[in-house]
Amino acid sequence: MEKQRRNTKTKKLVMDVFRHEAGALCHADLVQRLAGKVDRVTVYRILQRFFDEGVVHKISAENGKTYYALCHDCSAGQHADDHAHFYCMSCKTVSCIEAVGQFPQLPQGYIAAEASWFISGYCPSCRAV
Ligand SMILES: [Zn+2]
Ligand SMILES: [Zn+2]
Ligand SMILES: [Zn+2]
């Protein structure tokens, strides 16, 4: 029971970081922001749990890192994050881009298991500089 409560509290801490962040976060970002509160192994476990629960989705960036961002309409074991992701080469942030249309329809006979649509460039705040 005590363990359960502690788990819930730790999950809330991780969730708060996502809520206060505009873009996506990688494991190291979260560990850094939760330093002294949640250790890196726990952060990893919670991310995995959130992914299974349909709370966050994973983004494989071209820099080889995996980022995580909050989902909008996903449920446990069923992700529907068919949007693009944008990597800013200047401030090195990853954002979800929801408004750029749909993924191409696959021809008959193909079944998609995973899709990623990744765009690199400069975000509005970096472009302005
Ligand atoms: Zn999702
Ligand atoms: Zn930027
Ligand atoms: Zn996303």
Going 48 to 80 to 73 to 31, the CA torsion angle's sign is positive
Which numbered ligand comes closest to the C-alpha of 122?
Answer: 2
User: Per-residue pLDDT tens for 71-104?
Assistant: 988 999 888 887 889 999 999 899 998 866 666 7
Number of Cβ within 10 Å of residue 15's Cβ equals: 15
Which numbered ligand comes closest to the C-alpha of 125?
Answer: 2
Check pLDDT > 60 for residue 106.
Answer: yes
Token pair of 20 as six digits? 């206060």
User: What span, in angstroms and rounded, lies between the C-alpha atoms of 117 and 96?
Assistant: 10
Residue 42 CA, ligand 3 centroid: distance in Å: 23
Which numbered ligand comes closest to the C-alpha of 96?
Answer: 3
Rg of the chain, C-alpha, whole Å: 16
Spell out the CATH class of 2-127: mainly alpha
Instruction: Report residues near ion ligand 1: CB below 5 Å.
Output: 57, 71, 74, 79, 81
Single pTM value for the model: 0.82
In contact, 26 and 67? CB cutoff 8 Å = yes
- What's the whole-number average pLDDT of the chain? 88
Check pLDDT > 90 for residue 6.
Answer: no
